[in-house]
Chain A
Amino acid sequence: MIFTAPLLLLALLALPALYFLLRATPPAPLTQRFPAVSLLLGLKRTEETPARTPWWLLLLRLVAAGLIVIGLAGPVLTASRAPLGAAGPVLLVVDNGWAAGPGWAARMAAAEGVLGRAERGRRAVALLTTAPGPAGEAPSAQAPRAAGLVRSMLAALRPMPWPTDRHAALAALSKVPEGPVFYVADGVAGADDRGFAQALASHGPVTILAPAAPAPLLSVRAAPGGLVARVRVPASRVGRQMQVLAETGDGTLIGPTAVSIAPGAREGEANVALPQELRNQLSALRLAGLPGAGSVALLDESARRRPVGMMGGGGADAPLLGSLYYVERALAPTAELRHGTIGALLARPLSMLVLADRPLAGPEAARVGAWVEQGGLLVRFAGPALAAAPDGLLPVRLLEGDRALGGAMSWSRPVALAPFPRGPFAGLPVPAEVTVSRQVLADPASVAAAEVWARLRDGTPLVTAARRGRGEIVLFSVTANADWSNLPLSGLFVSMLDRLVSRSAGIEAVSPSQRMAPAQVLDGEGVLGEPNPAAVGFIAGAIGQVAISPLHPPGFYGPAHDRVALNLGDRIVPAAMEAVPGAVVEGLAQAPRDVRLGPAAVALAVALLLGDFLATLGIAGLLRPVAVSLLLLAAAGGARAEESPALATHIAYVLTGDPEVDRISKLGLEGLGDYVNDRTAAVLAAPAPVVPGRDDLSFYPLLYWPVTANATLSPSGVAALNDYMRHGGVILIDTESGGGSFAPGADAALKRVSEGLQIPALAPLTGQHVLAHAFYLLSDFPGRYDGATVWIAKDQDRSNDDVSPVIIGSNDWAAAWAEDEDGRPLFATIPGGQRQRVLAFRFGVNLVMYALTGNYKGDQVHVPAILERLGQ
């Protein structure tokens, strides 16, 4: 143990003085007025008043004072007394590549521990970082200097988003005099690891401080139905669990999705299933709790979905034969598909419009034409109808009629496709089995003005395209079903449509020669920011060959509307680092660390002084009153929390024992309460959960009882509910089954639990009933479901003010009323619509009014008659 401020220990010399001072001062007595003091004065001889503090109190205070002095002197318990090994300056090597991002603080703490040891050993320290700097400078070693100076350099050190360059570090290593080596490693392999490891081993005794689990690497790819997050790690003996968060462009985090890597496995995958709208907004996936460039997978346009409208001729939806059948199946995994009329489709933003054998004429043609001019991508498939009535929205002029190849009356054979020329389909493999047996023909004169994206072997254009304004029109000269060719049956068709979709949305396809300048790059902690000084762009066509380095850090590249993501996860295969021969490996957690005892000593002193305070109170006889008053205060505080349910109007709901159902009941009645409070003079407090037979029901005018399939009711509960109904309570029994189909078994359960209940004869609730016009005029009474009959007492009981004691339905009203904290409904209404929810709330308002005011509205019917009679 050492002291950082040993001079302060001199203050311990003052303790004896303190001892005499404390000894001479007895604790102040409590003063008490007392009439019989003369009797006490007579006693004075028998009891000697001690003029001195009790010895144990004195000891307590002295120990406390001593602890304060020692604590302020800054004792430090040095965990490792091990010498730093060989002579020479200490070489501290820190991996600061992307893999050091997760757990950077722990690495810095470990490095700090090494500095502390070097400082105590009065050894110079040389710092060597292995990753290139942000300006692209190669790793370099500083000349050995005092540990205190290195500490400030260490504090300025940040992880870099690119891999380490141990080869360059090797060159820097040779400039450092030999000595012990401490290597804060990231555990991930890099270039020329072996040479670096050997150089370290020959430099001096090596201690490796490495985390137990190296940093994982996240990558993402689009898949049918969502995104697939893939996490790769160097092979590891233990399994790992990670959480993937999806991040939208405005920073909202969605998720998490769990990814697990089995023991021994090198990677794990998880499907990130998200609603389409959200998927289109995503900008990145992240590994939760692991900040680092490798833990972020940026999403560019290639992962986005684009809405595609489609429309075909008659019978377009027929399986296997319909004109849109294959298009739909090809696009569904990667695009959002919409059907409808031209007007409906173009009413919303659309990236691409597919028209299969559908001639356009009149206002439709004008509408589509305008849309294309504004940047839409119109994809048309030929067919008999189009061949008969070609219109103007085609890239080429069609010759009348079509060409048939390989028919029964023809010598020719179906023709296969030629390799794709330059264009969006360039590079797609052409399967030999794809043939075309019939097609429409373009006027050769007009083909010259259009682009030909695909040809048959005989040179006939198959896919032609032409620009119109900012948009494009693409024509497939065959049908979109298998009538004219087997192209729609092949995988090629899917790839072609995918390329078309990614070309759409008004986005210029990146020309391979375009230079992609860095727009936003990740830093070593996985945060997007300004590009580092060294970052330069690359040619779009060469993105496959770009290696992540200070020149090309991971991030977004290219113009704002056409960003391309460069991800570490797509470029690097993580592997375990080469072992350094003869090195001692320590975990980051076990790295020797100094323990500062000062704060603990001072805290102990404060605790002792508190004890001294209590002891003084005890000597003065005040301990018990203080404790009692504190207890009383606590009890008073606790007692105040209890509030009688009679002080406000509460609606109650019966607890079912199913927490989800109870939660919906609570949220539903809260939502209804808000609605009622907003719109009526009734003021409802928070809904109260009750158990019939246990809680007193007499405070609640209305009881909501969701009956689930496994509902039970105790005999005491039956008695309580009967009593409740007899004395004017209203029970809304809801089987939440929507007429039986949504919650099987609930009706049987209702029969079971209502056996002992005195339910009057029931009749369907109609618009004539008071309940239907207690506040709003209602003719049906939907909840989450609509249409199920609602039952109410048939005969009106004068003794109970004509109020039906029970209302039985299955429309799941609580779910319709349930809202989250922001007032948004939690459950969709079925069949749906805002109107149904409004009606559900109105039914609730009527119900509350009915329970609170009885047949008041029924009496209102007679008001004109009464007024008339009064007038006479």
Chain B
Amino acid sequence: MARAVLLKDVCFSYNANQPDTVEAIKKLSLEIEEGSFVALVGHNGSGKSTLAKLLNGLLLPTSGDVRIFGDSTMDNKKLFDIRKNVGMVFQNPDNQMIASIVEDDIAFGPENLGIEREEIIRRVDWALTKVGMLEHKKGTPFKMSGGQKQRLAIAGVLAIKPKILVLDESTAMLDPQGRSEVLKVAHELNKQEGMTIIHITHFMEEALGADRLIVMNDGEIAFDDTPQNVFRHYEELKNIKLAVPWDTQFAISLAKLGIDTGEITKEEDLIDSLCRLL
């Protein structure tokens, strides 16, 4: 597997060299393999969104190097390719729609890449199929639910055929149903298309299906492991204002009373374990 993302000693400060400078990323190094599903979690101000914007050159490191498939974001000539490879979906679905008809909105990206009409049509259909919105091709985004709009935003990015998809708190403003719709699409893209997914979220529960969970705190990586292993540090996570998933917390609460359920991350496991105990 190729190395999709490489960060080496990356520092980033807002308002660098000014009196009100703020160090958001502190000498951070990180590698992400192609095809992996990485969840990036941290409280507000931990630096996770800054990190996301460093990945496609929306922000450039104050020092250090960010490389996407070997290309540095500092290299102006490569920046266009990097942005083609790293698709970003942001938090607010309403800010990411530009056309009044769904298919026009999805076609916008490939049109700007100067792709032929037939290919654009193929890509629009493909992208809409991938997010389960093909039937809304001729519809208008403005009357859709948050989850649907966010899936369209993903389709718009997919039409550019990126190799890496960054979801920057794309689920934060959605209701539970919209949230699970978006997550499902992300997992399918990861499994079926082998797309590298970097999912940024406040919520540990959304990290459950990820191969790897990176927890950010204060501009640094606090944990970087499988979700199960990270959840073992629940006390430390609380200190950096994060909570483990509900079912895990429930098992921990029982363990504190001396009832051992074993390690729990999912609801089914908790139910099975309780059935054995009771």
Answer yes or no: are A and B bound together in one complex.
no
Name B residues whose Cβ lies closer than 8 Å to a Cβ of A.
none
Chain A residues close to B by CB (< 8 Å): none
